[in-house]
């Protein structure tokens, strides 16, 4: 006996999103169902590749279909009908900003390791170094080549072990001590060039390393790009925490979801005695999280492995590093938060959780899981 769409929908209601507590059907995450003789194709409104929760949900959906006697074929596809802007950077699924209230807290270190970690998980990733006055991403993600130029004049970012990298550092003189003297309008022009004239292709994640503070570059990003979420980086110090709060308020006031707090330099483990010392204080990130109801996605220690000159790349790619596991936990936590935000967006923009039955030929989906 052939399984009907209604019967499958009812069975799929047993698959519950652990982050929202709602089942995937009522959330509108099931786009379309196609039932064949041996296989069932399901199009899902998932937009966060390699996020642990979405991988888990995908496996549960496969189990439901397999238990019904069919071969599961899952696809992921979202669009404007789900609340996602497809007019700016249409090939980029998720724009993730990494911000801080002040400089020197390790924002670029977090951004580079996040990008490299997502790439190593299997995602297509780019990183935009928007810190026009202090572009340091190429130091952490070195590339062998300079940016290329397409016939239409668009810039093609070089790659660093799979991660596409674009930075104003490529536009600066070879003299490392030469400052980037750019006033407000020039900063805006550079940002618009990165948005409109860079050929990113198809990316699952574009990580944007913002300059510290709440200036032009941050405002331009908010006004120009569909930001999936923002990661706020701080240290436990009182001044850093105070400035991080202001940065968080900027993004909240402009409707950009805050994914969470990364508390960097949270403690120092003495290599001689083995004791842990709170050199810069304790609990700064946690206090922000409690006041603004956002999670602390990770706390990272003061550690010599973060010295890019000694590692020759992001620490997350150093298999001998003691903190590699902590960095991958950060990557997974951030990806999961992006997935949660995306699924809540779908839920808010759906009028009905029912899927569509069809006997047409197999669907063309944006990407397969």
* Same domain? 43 vs 103: no
Same-domain status, 161 and 264: yes
pLDDT at 358: 43
Q: Going along 237-340, which residue ranges are E strands?
A: 258-263, 268-269, 276-277, 296-299
Structural domain includes residue 367: no
Residue 347 domain-assigned?
A: no
Domain match, 217 and 320 both: yes
Same domain, yes or no: 185 and 149: yes
Could you tell me if residue 363 is inside a domain?
no
Say how many domains are in the chain. 2
| pLDDT tens for the chain, residues 1 to 369 | 578 889 999 999 999 999 999 999 999 999 999 999 999 999 999 999 999 999 999 999 999 999 999 999 999 999 888 988 888 888 999 999 999 888 888 899 999 999 999 999 999 999 999 887 778 899 899 998 889 999 988 999 999 999 999 998 887 655 555 555 455 556 667 777 888 899 999 999 999 998 887 666 677 777 788 899 999 998 888 888 888 888 888 888 888 899 999 998 887 777 677 667 666 666 677 778 788 888 999 888 888 778 655 557 899 999 998 899 999 999 999 999 999 999 999 999 885 444 444 443 343 333 333
Q: Does 317 lie in the same domain as 219? A: yes
Q: Which of 44, 43, 64, 66 is nearest to 54 (CA)?
A: 44
Q: Which tokens go with 368?
A: 């397969």
According to the model, what pLDDT value does residue 187 have? 62
Q: At 316, give phi and psi (nearest 5°).
A: -65, -20
Same domain, 104 and 140: yes
- Taking each helix axis from N to C end, the angle separating 216-224 and 184-196, rounded to the nearest 10 degrees, works out to 30
CATH of the domain at 333: 3.40.50.300
Looking up residue 16, the CATH number of its domain turns out to be: 3.30.300.130
pLDDT of 241 reads: 83
First to last CA, the chain: 28
Residue 50 lies in a domain: yes
Is 130:191 a contact under the CB 8 Å cutoff?
A: yes
Could you list the residue range(s) of the whole structural domain that residue 28 is in? 5-77
Cα–Cα dist 107/102, whole Å: 9
pLDDT for 90 equals 87
Residues 53 and 102 in one domain: no
């Amino acid at each position: 006996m052939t399984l009907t769409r209604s019967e499958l929908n009812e069975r799929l209601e047993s698959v519950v999103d652990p982050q929202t507590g709602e089942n995937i059907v009522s959330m509108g995450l099931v786009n379309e169902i196609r039932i064949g003789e041996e296989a069932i194709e399901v199009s899902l409104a998932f937009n966060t590749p390699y996020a642990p929760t979405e991988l888990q949900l995908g496996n549960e959906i496969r189990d439901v279909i397999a238990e019904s006697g069919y071969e599961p074929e899952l696809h992921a596809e979202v669009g404007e009908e789900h609340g996602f802007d497809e007019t700016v950077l249409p090939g980029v699924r998720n724009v993730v900003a990494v911000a801080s209230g002040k400089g020197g807290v390790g924002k670029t270190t977090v951004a580079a390791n996040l990008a490299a970690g997502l790439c190593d998980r299997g995602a297509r990733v780019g990183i935009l170094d928007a810190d026009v006055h202090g572009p340091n991403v190429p130091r952490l993600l070195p590339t062998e080549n300079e940016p290329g130029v397409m016939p239409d004049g668009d810039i093609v970012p070089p790659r660093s072990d799979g991660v596409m990298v674009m930075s104003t550092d490529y536009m600066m003189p070879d003299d490392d001590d030469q400052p980037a003297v750019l006033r407000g309008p020039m900063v805006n022009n550079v940002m618009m060039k990165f948005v409109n004239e860079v050929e990113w292709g198809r990316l699952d994640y574009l990580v944007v390393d913002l300059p510290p503070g709440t200036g032009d570059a941050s405002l331009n990003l908010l006004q120009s790009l569909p930001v999936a979420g923002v990661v706020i980086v701080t240290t436990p110090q009182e001044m850093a925490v105070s400035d991080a709060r202001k940065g968080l308020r900027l993004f909240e006031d402009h409707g950009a979801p805050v994914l969470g707090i990364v508390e960097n330099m949270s403690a120092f483990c003495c290599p001689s005695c083995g004791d842990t010392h709170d050199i810069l204080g304790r609990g700064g990130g946690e206090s922000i999280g409690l006041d603004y109801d956002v999670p602390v996605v990770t706390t990272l220690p003061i550690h010599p492995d973060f010295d890019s000159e000694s590692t020759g790349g992001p620490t997350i790619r150093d298999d001998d590093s003691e903190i590699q596991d902590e960095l991958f936990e950060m990557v997974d936590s951030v990806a999961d938060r992006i997935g949660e935000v995306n699924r809540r967006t779908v839920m808010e923009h759906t009028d009905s959780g029912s899927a569509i039955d069809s006997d047409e030929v197999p669907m063309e989906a944006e990407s397969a899981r």
